[in-house]
Amino acid sequence: MTLKIGHILCKPSSPIDWPSPSAPFRRPSARTPRVTFFVSGQIGQSADTGKLVEGGIETEQVFANLAALLEASDRSFPDVVRATVYLTNMADFAAVNSIYATYFKAPYPARTTIAVAALPLGASVEIDVIAAAGGAR
């Protein structure tokens, strides 16, 4: 089934077993725009437990969460045109960058990194993305 909202065509996306958001914002999209897909900020929250992953692999879990949402919208990392990275400690910039670089290849999406005082659930990194059909390829 395809829905028309204004001039954007949408279709229901496949359901994802996802923990409840820790704040009042849209859960991973129930409708997937065919042109642009906005993914709310993801932290290293496990879909199984709803808690942050432990053992220094929080950024990897962030990207696993992003990958699941992109896949559910029939997109992948090459379709990402914009990313915003939020860090509670800018000393983590290089470590996050090394993981980020394994998911994004040239031409890279536009990106901003912002230092913040705190993130939900005590996370140290949060990333949101905007993906478009055809993306940054």
The reported pLDDT for the residue numbered 7 is 37
Domain enclosing residue 88, as ranges: 38-132
Whether residue 20 is contained in a domain is answered as: no
We report the CATH number of the domain holding residue 84 as 3.30.1330.40
The reported pLDDT for the residue numbered 22 is 59
Largest interatomic CA distance in the chain: 47
CB 124 within 8 A of CB 87: yes
Task: Take residue 94 and report the two structure tokens written for it.
Answer: 């290089």
Whether residue 5 is contained in a domain is answered as: no
- Which H helix or E strand runs over 87? strand 80-87
The reported pLDDT for the residue numbered 77 is 96
In the chain, the number of structural domains is 1
In this prediction the pTM is: 0.76
Which residue's structure tokens are 């993801």?
A: 42
The reported pLDDT for the residue numbered 23 is 56
Whether residue 17 is contained in a domain is answered as: no
- Which H helix or E strand runs over 12? strand 8-12
The reported pLDDT for the residue numbered 11 is 46
Whether residue 8 is contained in a domain is answered as: no
CA angle 67, 70, 72 (to 5 degrees): 105
Q: Which residues of the chain have pLDDT under 70?
A: 1-34, 134-137
The reported pLDDT for the residue numbered 26 is 52
- DSSP class of residue 99 equals H
